[in-house]
Amino acid sequence: MKKKSITLEVDPTIMENNMRIVKENPVEEELNKLLADTVPSQTVKPRPGFCVKTFTKPDNKKVFVNICLTEAIPSPVDISNAELMQILNSDDPSSYRVPMSIGEGRTEQDKSGAPATVYDVAINPEFFSKIEKDDLFQTFFLTVVFEGLQDKYQFELDMQKFTVLKNRKSIGTLQSHRIQIRDVKKCEEKAKPLIEEIQKPAKISELAPAKKREFVYRLRREPPTGEIEYLLAEFMVPASVELKDLNLEIGEDRLVLDSKGLFESVDFFLPCSVDQDIVDAQLNRNKDMLYVKMPIIH
């Protein structure tokens, strides 16, 4: 593969950490089962928010995730983008959690009439308003949702191949959720997992220590529908990683991003050929994001 080194430019005017969610141990699982019948709950019918389309790996089956809203779920602590970045790059990224309710999977028809698996994930409306307006929080949130689905249902999702549907708020009929009624503050006094599922009693888990941190990133196409014009790769680059530490190489069908050993190298093949000579890469320090625009070769 012929590679081309890309000069990174800092744009002062101008995101996803592969958060690991550790499965609970058998003792905790049994304890949660015993407690399930003792915690009061309520059944709520959430309302639509937005819908995300993604795919399973390696069989590439279509999956829809309905992000829906209910006041029965508490909102996470309101923090700034800078505070979120600081937490994600700290020794305890689990100190920030997102309360949510993950529903059971079901089969619905997509717009072409083909069957697809659908999951409903309910969150607080105030937090929904935040992720609607803020790309950093939305990417972080969707990463957490995908990790939660993978952890609960034991399958793998393509974390970079997803699309927020523009013309559909949900696929199929939203299902009712059984939400537990409990004192959220008391839960926060204990160890704080990254993701807290509301249908069950709070799980107390610890993140497995990582040998080296990984870049949070995603790859998407533009425009989302119709003939594709270019690929856009987005990387969350913490302030601790300087421009001089980054080395980006783009081949006709491959992308490699290295940070001199500070993070795990990112190396993946592109779904289509791109024009290496007119790739544009910009590092936005206001958002701590690296944007790589790669026009495709038709």
- What number of H helices and E strands is found in the chain? 5, 19
pLDDT value, residue 210: 45
Contacts (Cβ under 8 Å, ≥6 apart) of 126 = 75, 78
Q: What are phi and psi of 138, to 5 degrees?
A: -65, -45
Q: Where are the alpha helices (DSSP H) in the chain?
A: 26-36, 81-88, 125-133, 135-153, 184-188
d(CA 152, CA 146): 10
Residue 58: is the preceding peptide bond cis (ω within 30°)? yes
Signed CA dihedral, 138, 141, 147, 153: sign only: negative
d(CA 216, CA 234): 8
- Match 């537990």 to its residue by tokens: 180
d(CA 85, CA 241): 12
pLDDT value, residue 123: 95
pLDDT value, residue 227: 84
pLDDT value, residue 151: 87
Domains of the chain: 3-16+213-295 (2.60.40.790), 26-197 (no CATH)
Residues constituting the chain: 298
State if pTM tops 0.95.
no
Opening angle at CA 131, ends 128 and 135, nearest 5: 165
pLDDT value, residue 4: 54
Signed CA dihedral, 122, 124, 129, 132: sign only: negative
Q: Which residue, 154, 163, 146, is CA-closest to 216?
A: 146
Q: Which residue, 173, 165, 188, 215, is CA-closest to 19?
A: 215
Beta 115-123 vs 163-164: how paired, if at all? unpaired
Tokens standing for residue 74: 């508490």
Which residues in the chain come in under a pLDDT of 70? 1-41, 93-94, 180-212
d(CA 266, CA 187): 36
Average pLDDT, the chain: 78
